[in-house]
Amino acid sequence: MRPFHLQVDLEELVKLYRLTLDQPARNTQARYNVCPTDPVDTIVERDGTRELVSMRWGLIPRWWSKSIKDVKMATFNARVETIQTKPFFRDAFKRTRCLIPVSGYSEWQDVPGGKQPWYFTARDGSPALTTAGLWDEWHDRATGETLKSCTILITEPNHFVAKVHDRMPVLLAEKHFEPWLSGEAGLELLKPAADDALQQWPVSKRVNSSKAPADDAILIDRVDLEAA
């Protein structure tokens, strides 16, 4: 899972995730090209209350002693099969979990003419898909600053997604929010979504380009495959 799209206003987020109402107002302007290392909205639970927290997409564990530039592996996604064993993710899996809302996301399919991006979103028209995530807080020894960062969990695809890509994000139902955040639930929740959960269509290859503005809604418009 690479770029994603988020178009959910604060009122909808508060209602969907039962967030505390004493948080400062947040800018939830629609973003159509959210890429790794960009700031993303996450939901975390502390002392029985849920908060909306902005984090860097790409997890840096708290024990990391070098600079961010020295992180050689891609940490914006974490495979379910290895989150209990990979040092970058195993501690966060035990103690710091989060939810990451997305309105839709893109995956690239290998085709004879190169790679074609496809946009996936909820089939039932829901404003947000809820992905399972992990987060951590890292202290930069060089600058003295702290950085909150996160990763989205990915698993095997269902039959619908497998036609395009070999992985998909873990999507959680509302009834699973609490057991995931509290740590009560484990790997049993981290399964592919049902085949009828998503819909898809081809989109512009400008998706995931650093030159494409984040507020460009055309990025998720359906394109003609022959023209693409």
With 90 as the cut, is the pLDDT of residue 89 above it?
Answer: yes
Position 225 scores a pLDDT of 81
Strand 168-169 to strand 31-34: parallel, antiparallel, or no bridges (unpaired)? unpaired
In the chain, the percentage of residues whose pLDDT exceeds 70 is 95
Helices (H), the chain: 10-17, 87-95, 159-162, 177-182
153 to each of 67, 122, 196, how far by Cα in Å?
24, 18, 20
End-to-end CA distance of the chain: 21
Averaged pLDDT for residues 183-197: 96
* Residue of 94, 56, 100, 93 whose CA lies nearest to 78: 93
**Per-residue model confidence as pLDDT tens digits over 53-88:** 999 999 999 999 999 999 988 999 999 999 999 999
| pTM reported for the whole predicted model | 0.94
Position 163 scores a pLDDT of 95
Position 114 scores a pLDDT of 85
Distance separating alpha carbons of residues 68 and 146, to the nearest angstrom: 12
Averaged pLDDT for residues 203-219: 86
Three-state DSSP class for residue 89:
helix
Say if residue 110 is exposed, middle or buried (CB neighbours under 10 Å; 0-12, 13-18, 19+).
exposed
Q: Are 60 and 75 in contact (CB under 8 A)?
A: yes
Distance separating alpha carbons of residues 189 and 95, to the nearest angstrom: 16
